[in-house]
Structure 1
Amino acid sequence: MGHREDLLEGAKRCLLRKGFVRTTARDIVKESGTNLASIGYHYGSKDALLVQAYVSLIEGVGESGDRGWGAGDVDTAPLGSLERFQEVWANVIRSLPESRAIWLLSFELVLQGDRVPEVRRMLGEAQRDGRSGLAALFTGIPEDELDDETVETEGRFYVTLLNGLMTQWLFDPDSATEADQLTEGLRRMIAGIRPDS
């Protein structure tokens, strides 16, 4: 591994252990075995490195092998079906306990957004990737083949659901929404929509 990768891995470990605000450039250097100048050279700033590390952690949550969000029965569930919707959300919910520290970071970053405008801007740019990743997961269409309208409508819908679900599970896992409840809610909502609407 080169300095760039060492920094990224060190920053991820620091984020999980100390959070965004309490992680210093010196912490990252110590954890990665690199030097301070490497941060500026490879990432521009400590904040840019930490945002990249955070994005990498979030991407890893949905891609973690046979327990990833697209694993299991999702591959056999018909595209656009309630079965696929339920299976993906079941996989997301299964991953929440083991990725709790990562989701807590999300809240820390949201709360710091006004204090660190550069971080807010970078995370805003990263949200599009999140929307396209989720839209691809539910539709079965590769991210690079998704049209903008799908990303900006369905992708936003799934991100909104994910944020709400994540909040519930962090606040009180025992009363948080399960995949079958979310799916039944969607089914009832669809059934209640009048054809002339």
Structure 2
Amino acid sequence: MGHREDLLEGAKRCLLQKGFVRTTARDIVKESGTNLASIGYHYGSKDALLVQAYVSLIEGVGESGNDRGWGAGDVDTAPLGSLERFQKVWANVIRSLPESRAIWLLSFELVLQGDRVPEVRRMLGEAQRDGRSGLTALFTGIPEDELDDATVETEGRFYVTVLNGLMMQWLFDPDSATGADQLTEGLRRMIAGIGRDDS
């Protein structure tokens, strides 16, 4: 591995141990065995490196090629756009939450202390489109590069919003958190109720 990769791996470890606010450039250098100048040369700033490390951690959790990823198992056997696929993907997401708890806590650190790391927050806000696109591709089965903007900006936002709510529930109280079956049945009932005349 070169300095760029060493820095990224060191930054990931620092984020998981200390979070965004408490991680310093010196922490990353010590953890990666590199030097301070390497951060600026390869990433431009410590904040940019931390954002890239966080995005890499999130991508690792949901990677479809991973046996434990969100697209693992028999997701691809479910019909595209079906409630069955919706349920299977959320079951994989929920299954991964306990083992990736430290990663999701970083998201809430940004919510709670984002004013202390405004540059990190800004860069992550810009990276959210990729997250919306990745989730939409997972649920629809349509490759990311074939998704149109309207789909990403509607369905993608829906999936990210549900993901954030699930993360909050599972981090707060896993025993009472929503399961994939409940989420899917709720959506099924909502769809069935749309347009129903209750008068």
TM range (shorter): over 0.9
Separation (CA, whole Å) in 1 of partners of 2:174 and 2:111: 21
| Structure 1 residue 64 displacement after superposition | 6.6
Corresponding residue number in structure 1 for 2:155: 154
| Structure 1 residue 132 displacement after superposition | 0.1
Identity over aligned residues, as a percent?
96
| Structure 1 residue 114 displacement after superposition | 2.0
| Structure 1 residue 22 displacement after superposition | 1.1
| Structure 1 gap segments, 5+ residues each | none
| Structure 1 residue 113 displacement after superposition | 2.0
| Structure 1 residue 186 displacement after superposition | 0.1
Task: Pick which of 5-14 and 59-68 moved more.
Answer: 59-68
- Residue deviations 1:9-42 (CA, integer Å, cap 9, x gap): 0000111111111111111001111000000111
Indicate if the aligned counterparts of 2:21 and 2:117 stay in contact, CA closer than 8 A. no
- Residue deviations 1:61-97 (CA, integer Å, cap 9, x gap): 0017511100112110000110000000000000000
Rate the CA distance shift 1:74–1:51 in 2: closer, same or farther, 3 A.
Answer: same
- Residue deviations 1:129-154 (CA, integer Å, cap 9, x gap): 00000000000001111000010000
Structure 1 length normalisation: TM-score? Answer: 0.96
| Structure 2 gap segments, 5+ residues each | none
| Structure 1 residue 112 displacement after superposition | 2.5
Indicate if the aligned counterparts of 2:21 and 2:116 stay in contact, CA closer than 8 A. no
Indicate if the aligned counterparts of 2:63 and 2:70 stay in contact, CA closer than 8 A. yes
| Structure 1 residue 126 displacement after superposition | 0.7
Indicate if the aligned counterparts of 2:14 and 2:31 stay in contact, CA closer than 8 A. yes
Indicate if the aligned counterparts of 2:61 and 2:100 stay in contact, CA closer than 8 A. yes
- Number of equivalenced pairs: 197
Structure 2 length normalisation: TM-score? Answer: 0.95
- Secondary structure of residue in 2 paired with 1:84: helix
Corresponding residue number in structure 2 for 1:36: 36
